Amino acid sequence: MNNITSRYDYVKKEVPDPQVQDVADQFFDAAEILWAPHSGVLIPAIINSVLAIELYLKSLNAYSVIKNLEDYGDGIRGGVVTVEPETSRHELTKIFEVLEGDVKNALEIAFARSSIFTLGASFKDCLSTYDDVFIKVRYIYEDSTSFRRVNIVDLQQLMKLTRAVVESLPRKTTVLK
């Protein structure tokens, strides 16, 4: 848990975390708009797609925390609830690695049944194609080599698949502290 429970007095884990999922949905919706034929905004479409995938994955391993829990008297305590992911990295495979086993399996099974599946490939393999895209594509004018790896049809399908799996998972809430 990345010592999250030792750093905060209030820690709750919801899978998926609704705050993070909401932001992921917004990037998904933006990407869908940007993917419109002849939109002329390919780079923002790619970045929004990868960011949506990143946030969907982070919604599966995020913790709601209160950083400054305050005592308001009469046994009432509270504060501003924020979300802290298990990992704050951008590499999709690193985020995937810290997910719980059943969640990883759900993603792998959905991928194996999808149109982007290729023999011998896994969901994690597919994610690895886009590990550095969020960073590299933003600076495409400096180095365009990462752009050549991006299959925009597969990226769109991966984004949709990730969202569908997140939406289909049974909701689970655990108050840890």
- pLDDT (tens digit per residue) in 48-91: 999 999 999 999 999 999 888 888 888 888 888 889 988 888 89
Is 135 a member of any domain?
yes
Is 51 a member of any domain?
yes
Domain that holds residue 40: 4-169
The answer to whether residue 122 scores a pLDDT higher than 80 is yes
- pLDDT (tens digit per residue) in 31-47: 999 999 888 898 899 99
pLDDT grade for 137, boundaries at 50, 70 and 90:
confident
Find the CATH number of the domain harbouring 149.
Answer: 1.20.120.330
Our count of domains for the chain comes to 1
Is 46 a member of any domain?
yes
Mean pLDDT rounded to a whole number for the chain:
90
Is 162 a member of any domain?
yes
Q: 73 to each of 34, 47, 68, 76, 167, how far by Cα in Å? A: 50, 46, 15, 5, 39
Residue 14: beta bridge partners?
173
- Looking at residue 171, the DSSP 8-state letter turns out to be P
Is 176 a member of any domain?
no
First to last CA, the chain: 12
